[in-house]
């Protein structure tokens, strides 16, 4: 059986290392995870291939196709539709189904690190791109209160407006709001700060979304989605102010384990540890 990664480019991906380690771990010795570099014009043919080849169990989808694959699928989950992105395609009978496992992967990694999320949580999310949509969705699904800050504030408002249409998110208009400045005192009360910007990601490792002249809230926990490098400038800023910081590699493993479950029907909990280990080595 084959599972692929559809994106452009994909050569940098660590998904083959973690998924192939998981297949081997559970004894699926004839399963392989492969890279399918797919420019935009090749997307329809690629999806047809996924649909028609019986030995293809499904695929992951990454930049730039997470939105553009949706019209090709028979069913897109309500979660993926609300987030506006599909990162996992799997098959049931003759149908192609689309899911988003970033949001559940984020919650699973918070749980792994013993970070509770619920109505008592006051979170601050930095960014308004694809990953921020999944993270705000995840936090709002747990009824957390969420402030969203983005370099381009209009995108943050659009994110909240879109999520407000989800049938699964209750009271998002009451619980979530945009904050235009990180110097706003409301930001200092956040207990959980989640970086969903790409500022600080390799190769621009000297960048950070947090201004040097604003102290990082000492009592907050920082979760930085960036996993390359494993310790970002923002994580160092947070730790220098006494805050705890967690990098994004565990979320990468957990979203992969949730996708693995969709393709193989083997529970994610059977492979998430082996995937963390494979990613750390990779």
- Give the residue numbers annotated as catalytic, written as ranges: 66
| Nearer to ligand NDP among residue 56 and residue 128 (C-beta) | 128
Q: How far is the CB of 98 from ligand NDP (least distance, A)?
A: 17
Q: Pull the structure tokens for residue 158.
A: 């659009």
As a whole number of angstroms, the distance between CA 218 and CA 221 comes to 8
Is the Cβ–Cβ distance between 125 and 147 less than 8 Å? yes
**Does residue number 229 form part of the binding site for ligand NDP (CB under 6 A)?**
no
**Does residue number 86 form part of the binding site for ligand NDP (CB under 6 A)?**
no
Fill in the per-residue mask, 137 to 166: x = in contact with ligand NDP (CB under 6 A), - = not in contact.
Answer: -------------xxx--x-----------
Nearest to 68 by CA among 128, 16, 7, 12: 7
Sites for ligand NDP among residues 96-115 (CB under 6 A): 102
Q: Pull the structure tokens for residue 85.
A: 């992105």
The single-letter DSSP state of residue 203 is T
- From the list 56, 86, 107, 201, which residue makes contact with ligand NDP (rule: CB under 6 A)? 201
**Does residue number 217 form part of the binding site for ligand NDP (CB under 6 A)?**
no
- From the list 50, 128, 246, 275, which residue makes contact with ligand NDP (rule: CB under 6 A)? 128
- From the list 147, 163, 193, 196, which residue makes contact with ligand NDP (rule: CB under 6 A)? 196
| Nearer to ligand NDP among residue 83 and residue 144 (C-beta) | 83
Nearest to 34 by CA among 53, 11, 51: 11
The DSSP annotation for 160-201 comes to HHHHTT-TT--SHHHHEEE-S-TTSHHHHT-SEEEE-S-TT-
Is the Cβ–Cβ distance between 221 and 251 less than 8 Å? no
- From the list 64, 84, 129, 215, which residue makes contact with ligand NDP (rule: CB under 6 A)? 129
- Could you tell me which residues are beta bridge partners of residue 153? none
Sites for ligand NDP among residues 254-273 (CB under 6 A): 255
| Interacting residue ranges for ligand NDP, rule: CB under 6 A | 102, 127-132, 150-152, 155, 196-199, 201, 207, 209, 225-227, 248, 251-252, 255
């Amino acid at each position: 059986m084959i599972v692929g990664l559809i994106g452009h480019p994909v050569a940098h991906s660590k998904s083959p290392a973690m998924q192939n380690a998981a297949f081997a771990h559970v004894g699926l010795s004839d399963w392989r995870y492969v890279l399918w570099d797919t420019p935009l014009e090749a997307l329809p043919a690629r999806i047809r291939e996924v649909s028609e080849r019986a030995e293809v169990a499904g695929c992951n989808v990454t930049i730039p196709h997470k939105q553009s694959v949706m019209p090709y699928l028979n069913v897109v989950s309500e979660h993926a539709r609300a987030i506006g992105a599909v990162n996992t395609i799997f098959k049931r009978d003759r149908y192609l189904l689309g899911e988003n496992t970033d949001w559940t992967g984020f919650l699973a990694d918070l749980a792994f690190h013993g970070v509770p999320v619920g109505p008592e949580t006051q979170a601050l999310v930095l960014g308004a791109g694809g990953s921020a949509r999944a993270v705000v969705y995840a936090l709002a699904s747990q009824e957390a209160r969420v402030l969203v800050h983005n370099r381009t504030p209009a995108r943050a408002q659009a994110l909240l407006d879109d999520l407000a249409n989800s049938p699964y998110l209750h009271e998002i208009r009451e619980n979530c709001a945009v904050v235009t400045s990180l110097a706003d005192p409301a930001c200092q009360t956040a207990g959980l700060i989640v970086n969903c910007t790409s500022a600080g990601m390799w190769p621009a490792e000297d960048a950070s979304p947090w201004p040097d002249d604003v102290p990082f809230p000492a009592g907050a926990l920082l979760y930085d989605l960036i996993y390359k490098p494993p310790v970002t400038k923002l994580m160092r800023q947070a730790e220098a102010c006494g805050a705890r910081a967690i990098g994004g590699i565990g979320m990468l493993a957990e979203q992969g384990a949730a996708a693995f479950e969709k393709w193989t029907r083997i529970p994610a909990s059977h492979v998430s540890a082996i995937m963390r280990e494979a990613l750390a080595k990779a």
